[in-house]
Amino acid sequence: MAVDLSPAPSEPRPSSGPPRRWSPGVVATAAVAVVVLLVGGGWLLLRDDSSPEPDVTSSLCGDTVKPPAGVDTTTTVLVIGDSLMTQPACSFAGALAPLGVESHLHAVSGSGLLTSGAIGNRTWPKLLARLLDSVHPDVVVAGFV
């Protein structure tokens, strides 16, 4: 009896077919989803959801110094700046209050005119726009080193 010891013929592997192609609808939907996630995520990170008149002051006399009872408010002053303004702000507001001046104090030590370190992720130009909209001052006093 003869035994065939030759290797068995190899059988071809089943073909997996052509490479998978995504339909244009699936690609468009995925692209829109990615854009929505990026824009929405960016908005969540960059939005400014603080109060209309942001609390950025380190003043010992508070954010607003009003004239004493019986004295009408004739002028509203917005005081902004860095440590140059935080130090004299209370004295400044206290001296003006008897004259009918309401002072809104928003000076922050360590802030710079164009830097955002001490006032969160905002810069003074952005913050000033919000303060002007909420306070409606007659005069703005700004002091930066």
85 or 114: which leads in pLDDT: 85
Q: Is a pLDDT exceeding 60 seen at residue 20? A: yes
Residues 102 and 66 sit within 8 Å (Cβ to Cβ): yes
- Enter the tokens of residue 79: 């005081």
Contact 135, 72 (CB under 8 A): no
- What is the arithmetic mean of pLDDT over 134-144? 91
Handedness of CA 52, 56, 61, 67 (dihedral sign): negative
The single-letter DSSP state of residue 6 is: S
> What was the pLDDT predicted at 137?
94
Q: What is the pLDDT of residue 16?
A: 63
Average pLDDT, the chain: 77
Burial class (CB in 10 A: 0-12, 13-18, 19+), 39: exposed
- Mean pLDDT over 69-89 rounds to 89
The pLDDT value given to residue 41:
63
What percent of the chain has pLDDT above 90? 20
Task: Give yes or no for residue 49 having a pLDDT over 60.
Answer: no
pLDDT of residue 12: 60
Looking at residue 111, what is its pLDDT?
81
Between 136 and 25, the higher pLDDT residue: 136
